[in-house]
Amino acid sequence: MPRWKTQAIILNTIDFSESDRIVHALTREHGLLNAVAKGARRSYKRFPGTLEPFCEVILDVFSKPGMELARLEEARLANAHLRLREDIALFAHASVMIEVVLAHLGPYDPHPDTYQILKRSLDAFDAHPRWFAPWASGMINLLKSLGYGLDTQDVRRGRPLPIHRLCPEAATFMDKGASLESALLAKLSLSARARAEVEAYILDLCEKVGDRTLKSRPFLARFELDRD
């Protein structure tokens, strides 16, 4: 079937030519989708504010064997996740999630668990002012869904990575946080030290399993985690 609809989360877009846009999206059923949206930079009818990172959308897609890029015919907005655009520190942290997904998934490789974890995290950011614990839990589960589990015994001993020793509060969160419900995570207030250690652990783990420096890390370093 060359033309189909799918639910998706926009990961990244690149302006192309005078009016087109290259779109990278994570779909529920088909995994990573790379597509061109013809006229997207001018068409407010077919793409009304939908092709922005973190937007949850319904895409109308045309593709067939041999096409390097699928073609987006239309996009309908389901959730813009506007809070991500209102809090720059949250935007920076959520960008790490996008970078990890793009780095570890190939086109048309379905990962429904990864999609659901990303969607659940974005929804939690909208719903709760305390976003650090939902972000950290989402990152742990995201990495697990991509095949990178955590050795919680090593975390408890304070040796997750050579450069880290976690305080008891941070170690407990790394051990238990991934299994907590969003509503409970939103009530969880970690100390500044625990937040810093959890964040550093997660970012170092991302770089270790990806064997690359996170492009979003310098941007992330501008923000202190004292507002959670």
Q: Please spell the DSSP secondary structure of 2-56, one letter per residue.
A: -EEEEEEEEEEEEEETTTEEEEEEEETTTEEEEEEETTTTT-TTTSSS--STT-E
Q: In the predicted model, what is the mean pLDDT of the chain?
A: 89
* Pairing status of strand 56-62 against strand 31-37: unpaired
As a whole number of angstroms, the distance between CA 118 and CA 164 comes to 27
pLDDT average, residue stretch 160-173:
75
Q: Considering only residues 11 and 158, tell me which one the structure prediction assigns the higher pLDDT.
A: 11
- Predicted confidence at residue 162, as pLDDT, reads 46
Q: What is the pTM of this model?
A: 0.90
pLDDT exceeds 70 at position 97:
yes
pLDDT average, residue stretch 184-188:
91
- Predicted confidence at residue 155, as pLDDT, reads 63
Question: Which residue ranges form the domains of the chain, and what is each CATH number?
Answer: 3-79 (2.40.50.140), 83-220 (1.20.1440)
Place of tokens 């990864």: 114
Structure tokens at 159: 């040796």
Identify the band that residue 157 occupies on the pLDDT scale cut at 50, 70 and 90. Answer: low
Q: Considering only residues 134 and 129, tell me which one the structure prediction assigns the higher pLDDT.
A: 134
- Predicted confidence at residue 161, as pLDDT, reads 52
Q: CB 122: neighbour CB atoms within 10 A?
A: 22
pLDDT average, residue stretch 101-130:
94
